[in-house]
Amino acid sequence: MKKETLKKIAKIVGDVLFGIVLVFLLFIAVVNLRAKSSNGLPNMFGTGYLSVLTDSMDGDQKDSFKSGDLVVVDVINDKNRVDKALNLNVGQIITYYDYSEEKIISHRIIEIESQSSTGAVYVVKGDSPYAVATTRVGSGEILGVYKSHIKGLGKVFDWVGHGVGFFIVVVLPCILFLLYEVYRFIRVLLEYNKEKNSQDTNEKQIENRKKALDSLVADGTITQEQADAKLQEYIKSLTPEEETPVAEEEKAEETAPSEDEKPTEKPEV
């Protein structure tokens, strides 16, 4: 009984853990797939995730980051641009699309060229001592504002979001999970059919035994009461009752020798 309970608990825990891992992997895949447009920012629920590809921001600032890291940004769109893109300060890091290089870049604001209620222009630059070029970025070009970064996780996002990594980490587990569920369904279906066939066979055997006993009653060989008793015994023989834990314990107590029956050891001389 306890063994069966432990198996059920282990199965439930395993299913839950597998579901959590699967959801996390699908989350990474969806985030990557949402960045397929030319200047799209991969994001979920207003938070963007960017894999760092260069060391232009590898500096000595507390929030500097380097190639392979994952940058988390607060996404800027047309609905929140006035509130979030017009009142930025020197030192903040912004993410924008550079049309000349045709890629998304995250650099630090080093100067505010102009700022008003209708628009702003910021001068940005990388933290690396080798990043000497500056860029003018208008508030309408900003895609996100830096929130935090996670070291090394950008490489994982890149690998999972493309080619072989996407197939191994996302597609393959989904296929295996689907095959496992199909296997479980077929197994349950076979067990159901087996049980149903067994039940149909028993019912047919009981019906045949009842006819035989009725004929004996009709001939006067046995009484109706005897026939009913024999039929009940036959039904019980087809469906033996499982021993309960209590019955097993009582049986074990019966077979165990009592204190009086235990052989006494002879004292050594």
Say yes or no: 144 and 88 in one domain. yes
**Average pLDDT of span 179-185:** 86
**Average pLDDT of span 128-136:** 90
Q: Which domain holds residue 74?
A: 37-151
Distance in angstroms (rounded) separating the CA atoms of residues 220 and 201:
29
| Chain mean position to CA 156 | 18
Say yes or no: 173 and 229 in one domain. no
Say yes or no: 115 and 172 in one domain. no
Greatest Cα pair distance in the chain? 116
For residues 19 and 76, which has the higher predicted lDDT (pLDDT)? 76
Q: For residue range 4-53, list pLDDT tens digits in order.
A: 777 777 777 777 777 777 777 666 666 655 554 434 677 777 888 888 99
| Residues in contact with 250: Cβ distance below 8 Å, sequence separation at least 6, in sequence order | none
Residue 256 within any structural domain of the chain:
no
Say yes or no: 86 and 6 in one domain. no
Average pLDDT score, the chain: 80
Residue 191 within any structural domain of the chain:
no
**Average pLDDT of span 199-211:** 80
Short-list 213, 217, 67, CA closest to 131: 67
Residue 36's pLDDT is 47
- Residue 148's H or E segment, with its range, is strand 142-150
Say yes or no: 178 and 134 in one domain. no
Residue 215 within any structural domain of the chain:
yes
Say yes or no: 18 and 97 in one domain. no
Residue 70's pLDDT is 93
Say yes or no: 96 and 125 in one domain. yes
Say yes or no: 138 and 90 in one domain. yes
Say yes or no: 20 and 80 in one domain. no
Residue 257 within any structural domain of the chain:
no
Say yes or no: 19 and 82 in one domain. no
Residue 243's pLDDT is 46
Number of domains making up the chain: 3
**Average pLDDT of span 260-266:** 50
The pTM score is 0.56
Give the β-pairing of 103-115 and 120-125. Answer: antiparallel
Tell me the CATH number at 64. Answer: 2.30.30.140
Residue 193 within any structural domain of the chain:
no
